[in-house]
Amino acid sequence: MQLSILLAEQIGAMAIMLLFGFFMIKFHLLKSEDSKILSSLLIYAVVPCSLINSFQIDCTPDKLSGLLISIVSGLFLNLLLIGGAELLKKPLKLTPIEMTSVAYPNSGNLVIPLVAAVLGSEWVFYTSGYLIVQSVLLWTHAQSVLSGSKNFSIKKLLTNINILAILAGIVLFLTGFRFPGVIQSAFDGMASMMAPLSMIVIGMLLGQMDLKHAFAKKRIYFICFLRLIAFPLAATLLFAIPHLSSIHTDSYEIFFISLLGASSSSAAMVTQLSQIYGGDAQYASTINVASVIGCVFTIPIMAFIYQSVI
């Protein structure tokens, strides 16, 4: 119960941060195109610094095994989400955008600041397992679904800034290299910008949308139900397997972090890939925004259920 309360409080604080971005657009203090600049700052500086910073810990057998568990749990969850979307594709007549919106959560920009705020910055280390797996699948499976082609870009996968940051962090982790004090302070400062900047960007995106028109489609709410409730519940049941939480000293927190990844809003990358391949990017963006608003309420509920069954 305590964990879900802390999570609800932190999400509430992040929702207030979101309002800053929303009203800056509505009051014309910022232009809608300014969100692209902040997004670039977030993607290419703040997120990588946060990921690398999380690896500035001692490389112990316990931490190394925990990282491997986070990767394996991330793999199982992603396969569960993708497999579920594939099974529902025909009976529910899911379009490629709907299918990928359901299967791929926004496990980076939303989950990393939540983990840092609720569990502590040292636990961001375990978000890398889910991110590694999802990044590979986004640039292979998701790209294939949205483009209608089986070809995928290895180059984009290998040059993905999140993947490069994680690989750099792993090298630092394994070699035991520690940043000098002044560099560490800089990385700490950049990492602390994650939650405010992420929410301000989302608020700016909300501010530039015709919300009444965007949320008129009833189908959006059904897709959000699958993304935010049905699939996360299935993930929670997976973690409820007897004795699974006792395989590692940190397994309870590791699985909780993976669940946060699986419970978050639809991936913003779905909108970006839809733009690239000529899909309905506006529909994808509307699903993304609706799921961001929805997860403010559903993530604490999923956390409560997780604490009740694990």
If one counts the domains in the chain, the total is: 1
| Rama region for 105: left / alpha / beta (φ>0; ψ in -120 to 50; rest) | beta
Report pLDDT for 225.
96
Report pLDDT for 65.
92
Lowest mean pLDDT among 69-78, 84-93, 104-113, 225-234: 104-113
d(CA 257, CA 253): 6
pLDDT greater at residue 220 or residue 289: 220
Question: At residue 221, does pLDDT exceed 80?
Answer: yes
Residue among 122, 161, 86, 94 nearest 257 (CA) = 122
Residue 68, classed as helix, strand or coil, is helix
Question: At residue 212, does pLDDT exceed 80?
Answer: no
pLDDT digits (tens, 9 = 90+) for 265-289: 898 778 877 877 777 877 887 888 8
Question: At residue 23, does pLDDT exceed 90?
Answer: yes
The answer to whether the CB of 273 falls within 8 A of the CB of 142 is yes
Question: At residue 87, does pLDDT exceed 90?
Answer: yes
The answer to whether the CB of 97 falls within 8 A of the CB of 217 is no
pLDDT digits (tens, 9 = 90+) for 121-143: 788 888 888 888 888 888 788 88
Average pLDDT over residues 247-264: 89
Average pLDDT over residues 82-109: 91
CATH of the domain at 276: 1.20.1530.20
Which among 84-88, 162-166, 213-217 has the top mean pLDDT? 84-88
pLDDT digits (tens, 9 = 90+) for 31-57: 878 887 887 888 788 888 988 988 888
Phi/psi at 120 (nearest 5 deg)? 120, 150
d(CA 9, CA 293): 15
pLDDT digits (tens, 9 = 90+) for 143-179: 889 888 776 667 777 787 878 888 898 899 889 999 9
d(CA 209, CA 271): 14
| Cα-based angle 257, 253, 66 (whole degrees, multiple of 5) | 95
Report pLDDT for 72.
92
Average pLDDT over residues 98-105: 94
Average pLDDT over residues 72-99: 93
Residues 6+ apart with CB under 8 A from 303: 3, 4, 7, 256, 259, 260
Domain that holds residue 59: 2-309
